[in-house]
Chain A
């Protein structure tokens, strides 16, 4: 099978997943509304801190809105296509991965489209905050039009980084079976931390968020260049390079992990 056939098959699997979801329209509407509610309350937590204290560590309201929006959109992109990677635990606990292993496709490619999520609420909200932050900074002359393609670029590289972190965490499940606790740290806590400028944290913690769990590379580091002109354009190249490196490493790790998979008896 060549790559084109894989992609068209991937598209077919996604369409199937969407259609199956649409069989229960009320459930779809309810889950979309509640996802939006969760998203809004998450944003309000950040917004209220800003409303109360104004600038944080020299970062303005717009700049922190930007950090938040980039992180939200990158996460949305990752979760739209690879939500099941985040939910690998249920496949490991119930032994459901067996069914995917016997298909004539790479396991990851069959796993990912199992549940294609339409995250309209997150896209709208992240897009709105991004629009607000960027247009505010454009009016004050802080950034120019070039920031728009650069932002789209870092959302894309950010999604790859978040996917890699998610995949590496999920892969550990081949040894530990249960991964939700670990995901709490590497995905949820780390992502929440990176919604604020990393200078807010103790040195060792911001170091950790730039290296071992590199969520800081999703939004904080590239923003230093895009918004503030600090360092140089090489930061973006570094981000892209890091994203590719993370992806390769996590895929290699995934391949190793798969060989350790043990099914469950019934």
Chain B
């Protein structure tokens, strides 16, 4: 119940900024639009494999909408800020685990972003690019499960980025580094099978493909549901890492007077 309250408060807090976020959606949509134009231009002279031009546009559109669930989370789950203010010590004293506490709050944020960012962006693209919805309900269910897993993985990654703030003041660079890596290795702009062999192999050794590539493939009906096992495996692994990081973080915390 506590976790649900935390999540719903985070959701409600964001509702205050709905107008500003709609403007932001235009910015985000224009980025995706530019990428889609690029693929349309490329598709005029080249064959775009199993996707075709329309498929690549759908691929980009879904990815751009999914970014708000799987990539653009609160920087370090807000830990860097609470380290700077010293609030982190209070957070650690609470009778709930730091990880689950911050996670609950972030789920509220993600739910908000899904409703007020992902969906409007996708609806916009649906009309601009005349997208098709997936043929079968199974595809939608699998994609939804993969997206939920991706959101969880991203929460874990951001928790670790946030935890690094106890060691360095430049943890925001890690956030952007993580974003750059996910652009490349999550198949945001280019499907992973088109990467050079060595890079594709590196990508599959990391959790990144499960952030965007796997949900998108499932949504477009190209992948089997077995891909979800990978998502599950990474979720378990990342959870363990986050729990270990919390234990380390407890020993490192310093409170400065002021």
Contacts and interface: CB of A to CB of B under 8 A. Distances in A.
Given A48-B196, A201-B41, A193 B34 contact: yes
A37 B182 CA distance: 12
A54 to B, nearest CB: 8
Interface string A27-61: 10011001101100110110011011100110000
A233 B194 CA distance: 40
Interface of B: 20, 23-24, 26-28, 30-31, 34, 37-38, 41-42, 45-46, 168-170, 173-174, 176-177, 179-181, 183-184, 189-190, 194-196, 199
Interface in A1-30: 24, 26-27, 30
A38 B179 CA distance: 8
Interface centre among B179, B181, B184 (most CB of A within 10 A): B184
Contacts of B42: 49, 53, 56, 200
A200 B180 contact: no
Interface centre among B37, B180, B190 (most CB of A within 10 A): B180
23 contacts: A24-B169, A30-B173, A31-B173, A34-B170, A34-B174, A34-B177, A38-B177, A44-B184, A44-B199, A48-B194, A49-B190, A51-B196, A52-B194, A57-B41, A181-B23, A184-B30, A184-B31, A185-B26, A185-B31, A188-B31, A189-B34, A196-B41, A205-B37
Contacts of A26: 168
A231 interface: no
Nearest to A188: B31
A142 interface: no
Please classify how large the interface on chain A is, using the bins under 10, 10 to 19, 20 to 34, 35 or more: 35 or more
A184 B28 contact: yes
B48 to A, nearest CB: 9
A26 to B, nearest CB: 7
A199 B195 CA distance: 25
A20 to B, nearest CB: 12
A37 B180 contact: yes
Contacts of A184: 24, 27-28, 30-31
Contacts of B199: 44, 48
A37 B30 CA distance: 25
A181 B30 CA distance: 11
A57 B45 CA distance: 7
A53 B179 CA distance: 25
Given A31-B173, A42-B183, A196-B41, 15 more contacts: A24-B169, A30-B168, A31-B170, A34-B170, A34-B177, A38-B177, A41-B184, A42-B180, A48-B196, A57-B45, A181-B27, A184-B24, A184-B27, A185-B30, A192-B31
Nearest to A182: B27
7 tightest A-B contacts by CB?
A200-B41, A38-B180, A184-B27, A34-B177, A34-B173, A41-B180, A41-B184
B183 A45 contact: yes
A199 B40 CA distance: 12
Contacts of B169: 24, 27
Residue with the greatest number of chain B CB neighbours at <10 A, chosen from A27, A34, A188: A34
Interface string A185-198: 10011001100100
B59 to A, nearest CB: 14
A45 B173 contact: no
Contacts of B176: 34, 38
Contact of B37 (A34, A45, A53, A201): A201
Given A35-B173, A49-B42, A185-B27, A202 B37 contact: yes
